[in-house]
Amino acid sequence: MGDGERDKFSRVLLHEITPQAVRAALQSPGQVDLNKVEAQRARRILDRLVGYQVSPLLSLVLAGRRFEGLSAGRVQSVALRFICDRELEIQDFVPQPYWEVEAHFPTKPPFSAKLEGKITDPQQVEALKQGLAQAEFRVEEVAEEEIKRRPPPPFITSTLQQAAASELRMSPRRTMQIAQQLYEGVEVAGKRLGLITYMRTDSVRVADSAIREARALIKDQFGKEYLAPRPRKFKNKRRSQDAHEAIRPTQVTLTPEEVAPQLTPEQAKLYELIWRRFLATQMAEGIWRRRKVTITAGDWTFKASASWPVFPGFTRVLGVGKLEDEGRELPEGLQPGLLLPAPELEFLEKATEPPKRYTEAGLVRKLEREGIGRPSTYAQIVTVIQERGYVRRENGALRPTLLGHVVTDFLRAHFPETVREDFTAKMEEDLDRIQEGQADRLEVLSNFYSWFSERLEKVEQELKGGKKPFRVLSDVPCPKCGAPMEVRVWKGGLYLACSRYPECKTTRNIPQNVTFRYREGQVELAEGLAEADQAPAAPCPQCGTPMQLKHGRYGRFLSCPNCGATRAVPSGVTCPKCNQGELVERYSPRRGAFWACDRYPDCRFVLPGPPQEGCSACKKGVLYQDPRRGLLCSNPRCPTRQEQSR
């Protein structure tokens, strides 16, 4: 569409689906912003250049033939590299011991003070014990301060996903699905009404009318003292797209309690989260007081503090974490120069801990902080890397699979820019510059393709010449010739093949959940394979011969070496639903290993983790190892589950 055709078309912008908003949008249509159109075209072309051209190369290099299942992406690949790099940090982490010293004073009430700094030298610990045993502990300084806690800005897409993950245990994808339902509308008082504004936005701007509505509600329900002195507005980050408002209720007067009967439990929880967050933005600050005490003992300094709330402010509606020293007590009468009674000293030996794996919310936070991708794409990115088998969820965190490491290292070797956060963030800035009319779409695309096409051609030429542009060798020797076996890929699964192929064509399957150590194209698998080969012994149902554990495309299974019969790996636990079948191990590329009744499809009972035994508390379910929450009962009404949820 050229400039001459712009007047033929109009743009109707809907921030919310309510009768008044729809009428207002239709009465005041805007012009089509051609700069935004150009930016969208550039984004689509960039995504296809990377996705459509690198993805086939992945299958050709790693599998030797084309097939669907492996993919790379302009943003997806960087997200995967973050997860893989974090796993390598954890893998190589060496704990370092250190000591913290606490002094417990027998005052009324008793209190504790902590030595400033950490001690890393064991010899210093012994010297400190001797020195403090003879030192006088005297109050050096007592001070009080006021702490004001401000409410956070209203939700944008990324912060909603993070909050829903941490507070409601919703995945980013599920959060966006539920938010879409609230945006499109539900039946309230006989009318279909959109309950929230558009949920794909990175703007914290809020309409003045909505602010006035929220302030009136706060004054009426909580009192004037809970109202912020003036309307509170928040600033957008640099280059935030301001097409839509922040995520807020369309009518703040519709309280969560009022609409809950018309909503599903998930809808009600998410609406309440959005409603409370928005209402808090116009409430007064929370006020806390903190008393700090400095204590000297010779050349050493100890610190103690205690804090307590004075005025809750916005925390009446929005939960916030406690301050580190909240709830502690300090005795009255602490004054500079006061000699304290001899304390009981405690030397706490600790060790440094490795960095934690990214959760889904943590990965979204990382992408947002690095300026990679758009808020509307984060949920899809987190979902895709799991569906491709690059990452699996483990105890609520994201852990890369061996396939994820292999794909990342291939991209790092041949297309390093696609996994560099600074380069990807620069591309986002270029797209924003196109939208702002400061850059030309063709120029940006040409600059990208000039180096990208050279990388593509180099890999393609190596493939045509019969070379292997990339390979991952293992510590597993070929059982026939002794050469190291290499990791190969087929239809999203991994197997080992002799590195002397085609002279030696020996192969071996790799279990899906095998333990391994990975580093720069080398993988240690031998120990993990030995562990995976252990399985419950079972006789063949046809001839009675002891069956052997095998690993196939669909996970582990038992095979008879005599007659060739196969069966699923049994658990020895009876299905609690039908009380007839046995729970056996199954596998799907998307879900990984799971356990299901062997009477499927007559019985469709499924568990996400290995079953242990029948539950003695409720007598109706079975205990199983949940990947996220540990040992659970399959019965949702079991007293043990209700106790855990409190």
Indicate which residues carry an active-site annotation.
Answer: 198
What phi and psi, each to the nearest 5 degrees, are found at residue 279? -60, -40
β partners of residue 517:
524
What phi and psi, each to the nearest 5 degrees, are found at residue 100? -115, 145
CA 347 – CA 340 distance, rounded (Å): 19
Contacting residues for 279 by C-beta, under 8 A, at least 6 apart? 214, 217, 218, 252, 317, 318
Per-residue 3-state assignment (H helix, E strand, C coil) for 220-247? HHCCHHHECCCCCCCCCCCCCCCCCCCE
Q: Which of 357, 469, 455, 450 is nearest to 409 (CA)?
A: 469
Q: What is the CA radius of gyration of the chain?
A: 30
Contacting residues for 124 by C-beta, under 8 A, at least 6 apart? none
Site of tokens 């391994």: 516
CA 318 – CA 534 distance, rounded (Å): 51
CA 586 – CA 553 distance, rounded (Å): 11
Determine how β-strand 137-149 pairs with β-strand 286-297. antiparallel
β partners of residue 393:
398
Helices (H) and strands (E) counted in the chain, each on its own, are: 16, 26
What 526-535 contacts at long range (C-beta under 8 Å, 24+ apart), as own/partner pairs, is: 526/474, 526/475, 526/476, 529/476, 532/556, 535/569
β partners of residue 597:
583
DSSP code for 546: B
The token duo for 609 is 């983790």
Which one-letter amino acid corresponds to residue 211? I
CA 585 – CA 570 distance, rounded (Å): 6
Residue 26 contacts residue 13 (beta carbons within 8 Å): no
CA 514 – CA 106 distance, rounded (Å): 53
DSSP code for 354: P
CA 41 – CA 339 distance, rounded (Å): 73
CA 467 – CA 462 distance, rounded (Å): 5
Residue 532 contacts residue 525 (beta carbons within 8 Å): no
Residue 305 contacts residue 270 (beta carbons within 8 Å): no
Element (H, E) at 633: strand 630-633
Contacting residues for 62 by C-beta, under 8 A, at least 6 apart? 70, 406, 407, 410, 470, 488, 489
First-to-last C-alpha distance (Å) of the chain? 58
